[in-house]
Amino acid sequence: MSRIKDITNDNPFYTENKEKLDKVGKGMCLAKWTQVTLQLQSGHNHSCHHPRTHKISEKEILRNPSALHNTQYKKLRRREMLTGKRPVECDYCWNVEDNSNRFSDRVFKSSESWSLPHFDEIVNQDWRENYNPRYVEVAFSNACNFKCSYCGPPYSSTWMQEIKQHGAYPTTDKFNGMEGMIAENKVPILHKDPNPYVDAFWKWWPDLYRDLHTFRITGGEPMLAKDTWKVLDYIIDEPNPNRDLNFAINSNLGLGDDMIDKLIGKINKIEDEDRVNEFIIFTSVDTWGEQAEYIRNGLEFNRIWDNMNKVLEKCPRVNLTIMSTYNALSVPNYDKLIKGVYDLKEKYGSNDRYWNSAIFLDSSYLRYPSHQTVQILPQQWSNNIFKQAQLADFLGVPNYDTKNIGYSDIEIQKLKRIYDWMMSANQDQLKSQRYNFGKFFQEHDKRRGTDFCKTFPELADFYNECLEIKL
């Protein structure tokens, strides 16, 4: 099998862009202006997924709806970047740059097509000015029919129902307890109740829409939010002036035929009338079969696989991306998912699709909660992860294949990074993390009628050892 490729500091494109950013300041990152994730169900946002979210001021959005993104807090971070400082909240990137020869995500994000063209405009603008982001992710509510093991009430109404009924999980950090949500000011507004953040969004939307490069609706499960359908109808009725909008929806696709058919109808109308440049559906599955159903409680594996096939068949220009949150329970059977996705690439790959590829497997390692990450597993499991990366490499796109049937370098690299990250585990924290692993899944089985050892026989010995740990 061929060597798995790394993107390091010898890449001329990224090297040039890093030097350009560093001339402004060693902490400069265009994403603070060009990107935002809006969690309207709790009134939080962040630009880039590495820093923690911060609360949006209701007073600010009454005066200025764009303060959903242009908060006073964020403007102060922009000032730091423009004056040579490194914002503390962005320490993930500083750690990468100071301890390896890899590019950090500030370089990648600033090099994106939704960032780099705006470099001069941004660095020459006063830090106090408002700026319309080009890449926007928005969650309108936490309404969701799933309660994935690593998720929580801010993003899932079914998780909220469980926590209200049973309370926090008996881990040392009281996982998903209401106290933590209250302390972080993240208690979600019920989707049936008035929401000032959603109101501000719709006031800002006509102006924001004109500047968008990429717009992505997340959740919760977006198909359960009326605002998602309102956005789809707006795009149908009011085409983006520059017609180059990249549009995406996150959906677990664990939905009935009526809703899937309704979504397909909207997609085809948007595609047939060239309302967007590209349409991507992001879905999620973290391993194969019954083990995937255990991780993402509420998922019916055959249903989601049938719905993926249905969307790819009925929407011949749409791309699917599987956001796979690679966690400790993904490891035993992830090779089956790699093979299954490859079969979909073969079946639906077409020159009519964006990038010529039907489906992309985005394997991102889980970082929180720490008791469910791959780092808590015994080191021998790292061999499985490396073999999975090798398998994806073996199934990579041949140089002569114009249909892009196979795994791209990016997909392969993502798996390699999971292996690297597992090998960097902090041994001092493993005892408490493994203790919490046992406590969490013991309670999980009790509350949800599941059976860890039956579902994960490969991990049964490890699970029982975790249950024996005393702190």
Question: What would the pLDDT profile of 345-357 be if each residue is shown by its tens digit?
Answer: 999 988 777 666 7
Q: Give the integer Cα–Cα distance in Å for 180 and 175.
A: 8
Q: Give the integer Cα–Cα distance in Å for 163 and 372.
A: 19
- Per-residue pLDDT tens digits for 344-392: 999 998 877 766 679 999 999 998 999 999 999 999 999 999 999 999 9
State the virtual CA torsion across 395, 401, 402, 403 in degrees, nearest 10: -40
Given a cut of 70, is residue 280 above it in pLDDT?
Answer: yes
Q: Give the integer Cα–Cα distance in Å for 446 and 36.
A: 38
Q: Give the integer Cα–Cα distance in Å for 51 and 35.
A: 13
Q: 3 pLDDT band (50/70/90 cuts)?
A: very low
Q: 4 pLDDT band (50/70/90 cuts)?
A: very low
Percentage helix, strand, coil, to 5, in the chain?
55, 10, 35
Least confident of 269-273, 274-278, 422-426, 440-444: 422-426
* Contact by Cβ (8 Å): 228, 264: no
Contacts of 197 (CB under 8 A, 6+ apart): 38, 40, 41, 43, 56, 61, 68, 189
- Per-residue pLDDT tens digits for 170-194: 999 999 999 988 988 899 998 889 9
- Per-residue pLDDT tens digits for 67-124: 999 999 999 999 999 999 999 999 989 988 888 888 889 999 999 999 999 999 999 9
- Per-residue pLDDT tens digits for 438-467: 999 999 999 999 999 999 999 999 999 999
The mean pLDDT of 248-260, rounded to a whole number, is: 95
Q: Give the integer Cα–Cα distance in Å for 61 and 170.
A: 38
Q: What is the per-residue burial (b if ≥16 Cβ within 10 Å, else e) of 317-353?
A: bbbbbbbbbbbbbbbbbbbebbebbbebbeebbeeeb
* Contact by Cβ (8 Å): 216, 137: yes
Q: Give the integer Cα–Cα distance in Å for 165 and 359.
A: 39
The mean pLDDT of 160-171, rounded to a whole number, is: 96
